[in-house]
Amino acid sequence: MSSKKADSSKSVGTAYFTENARVQACLKDLNQHFAEKPLVVSDILDPQGHQYVHLVQKGGGVLGIALVGYTYVLEQMGIRFMRLAGTSAGAINTAMMTIIKNKEDAKSVDIVEILCNLDFFKLVDGHPFARFIISKFVKEPDFSVMVKKWVSRFFIIFALLFLCDFVTFGLQPYYEWARPLCLTLFIITGLYTLVLFIACFYFSTLLTMLKNSGYGINPGDFLYDWIKDNFKKNGVNNVSELNAKASQDIPGLHLRDGVINEAGIDDIKGDVTFITSELVTENKLEFPKMCYLFRKPEDIDKLHPAGFVRASMSIPVFYESYYIKDIPCDDPAIKAAWNNVFDEEDPPSTARFVDGGILSNFPINLFFNENVQIPRLPVFGIDLDDSTPDDSGKHAESWSLGGYLGRMFNTIRDYYDKDFLLKNKVMQEGIGVVPLSKFNWLNFFIQDPEKLDMFATGAEAAAAFLKGFDWDTYKNSYSTVQHQITPNLQSKKSN
């Protein structure tokens, strides 16, 4: 990768994304669509007329660029966010939307500027050889395409060399020119074989290095420092400051005129949640909510919140695990906390985290409140769908290798969230899907035109969702379900 390509992410500004024809067409279409009947998505408003929703953002590596395009359109249509949650790439956009400015302000343009100044190439901060291999494999949406190419080239070259060796060896007795040619080909074949042995030995050495580094190709130090730097620029240096940002008051917050809801708005408070997976005790963790499992109350701010996002983004093998060490596991309060939450009587002294998407890549269940009879604001979710038509179809015999492995992995990581949505189908009415099958979620070598395409695809998905969303239908569906389950809940409590 040349330095010119590596720096290409710095060659464009925010207007490259926000003023794009496809993005502007989305906004124009929405304004025309809601010209006569204004957009209504919530009963919670501020004095400027912004409507508030809860927002959940799915993980997906560099596909997170589409999340920014999606939220940009939502914000341009006057939508703001109360509670926020996300996993992996969704955690990154969630973090930026939490720390930038105030809750009533639009954030997406600022996030676009941050992405414009980010050299994506530096996010792959591992061994040079590993970076080279990654760059070759992740440019195709389907990994199996590149695997087939490399394996095919290997066998074709090897087969051609042996064929030429055999033919020229047989021609030596008859043609004088065949002898030097045969010798040359034998030397080339030997060198090729030697190179392969060296490559295998080097690969074995890299595997040992991989084991010693916590089974991560990239240490993820640049990612952590980048997150921490953005937190600092926005006045967030510890957990307390993050919580203060997430829960800040919104002056003049009120119910929509003419709407009566006995629940009122006093309990409407913002917060933020990043999902990660803890391997030592095999549990799903919610940060910053569960900080008390790792530090005493007076020491909570010794944990930097950038670590929560880094933990959520710890893509297995691609990034090293994230660790929280020196947990006071013998402290009675810490032991009681682990026992109460996870039934763990012997907490670990060191916790090891990998990508939250392993257990919950779309944590929309966090915002379901069984005590609310009539919702005052909806839960919006942004679902990133990178499955290809063939690999997402029902004809299992036609799946590619990538499709097969993808379905197997998605079955594991999506089951928890899917099971919740199957039991609470009303929540699906707030979910918009962004189709991203032509992009590779690990392509950190992505160039500006692809970023723009991804951003615009997110914007178009947001526009389609808003045109199809009906707040009254959502409220009625939610209320109907709640009235059905309330008797059961009361029965369980009485028992």
CATH of the domain at 253: 3.40.1090
Q: How many structural domains compose the chain?
A: 2
Q: Is residue 54 domain-shared with residue 109, that is, in the same domain? A: yes
Q: Is residue 484 domain-shared with residue 427, that is, in the same domain? A: yes
- Tell me, yes or no, whether 190 lies in a domain: yes
Strand (E) or helix (H) holding 379: strand 379-385
Domain boundary, last residue among 163, 197, 213: 213
- Tell me, yes or no, whether 17 lies in a domain: yes
Could you report the per-residue pLDDT of 112-133, keeping only the tens digit for each?
Answer: 999 999 988 899 888 777 777 6
Q: Is residue 16 domain-shared with residue 76, that is, in the same domain? A: yes
Q: Compute the half-sphere exposure of residue 309: CA atoms within 13 Å on the CB side of its CA.
A: 31
Look at the pTM and tell me if it is higher than 0.85. Answer: no
Q: Is residue 59 domain-shared with residue 160, that is, in the same domain? A: no
Separation between Cα atoms, residue 285 and residue 312, nearest integer Å = 9
Q: Is residue 364 domain-shared with residue 481, that is, in the same domain? A: yes
> What average pLDDT does the structure give for the chain?
87
Q: How many helices (H) and strands (E) would you count in the chain?
A: 16, 12
The answer, yes or no, to whether residue 223 has pLDDT greater than 70, is yes
Domain boundary, last residue among 148, 178, 213: 213
Distances (CA, A) of 100 to 50, 350, 480: 17, 32, 37
- Tell me, yes or no, whether 332 lies in a domain: no
Share of the chain above pLDDT 70, in %: 84
Q: Is residue 276 domain-shared with residue 244, that is, in the same domain? A: yes
Could you report the per-residue pLDDT of 155-199, keeping only the tens digit for each?
Answer: 788 788 888 888 888 888 888 888 888 889 888 888 888 888 887
- Tell me, yes or no, whether 73 lies in a domain: yes
Are the beta carbons of 77 and 465 closer than 8 angstroms?
A: no
Q: Is residue 185 domain-shared with residue 105, that is, in the same domain? A: no
Q: Is residue 116 domain-shared with residue 133, that is, in the same domain? A: no
- Tell me, yes or no, whether 151 lies in a domain: yes
- Tell me, yes or no, whether 230 lies in a domain: no
- Tell me, yes or no, whether 352 lies in a domain: no
Could you report the per-residue pLDDT of 43-97, keeping only the tens digit for each?
Answer: 999 999 999 999 999 998 999 999 999 999 999 999 999 999 999 999 999 999 9
Q: Is residue 373 domain-shared with residue 475, that is, in the same domain? A: yes
Which active-site residues does the annotation give? 88, 355
Q: Is residue 456 domain-shared with residue 373, that is, in the same domain? A: yes
296: confidence class by pLDDT, cuts 50, 70, 90: very high
Q: Is residue 255 domain-shared with residue 132, that is, in the same domain? A: no
Q: Is residue 177 domain-shared with residue 32, that is, in the same domain? A: no
- Tell me, yes or no, whether 430 lies in a domain: yes
Q: Cβ–Cβ contacts within 10 Å for residue 274, how many? A: 31
Separation between Cα atoms, residue 51 and residue 253, nearest integer Å = 10
Domain boundary, last residue among 181, 213, 245: 213
399: confidence class by pLDDT, cuts 50, 70, 90: low
**Boundaries of domain holding 92:** 12-122+237-287+300-310+358-390+409-494
Separation between Cα atoms, residue 399 and residue 394, nearest integer Å = 9
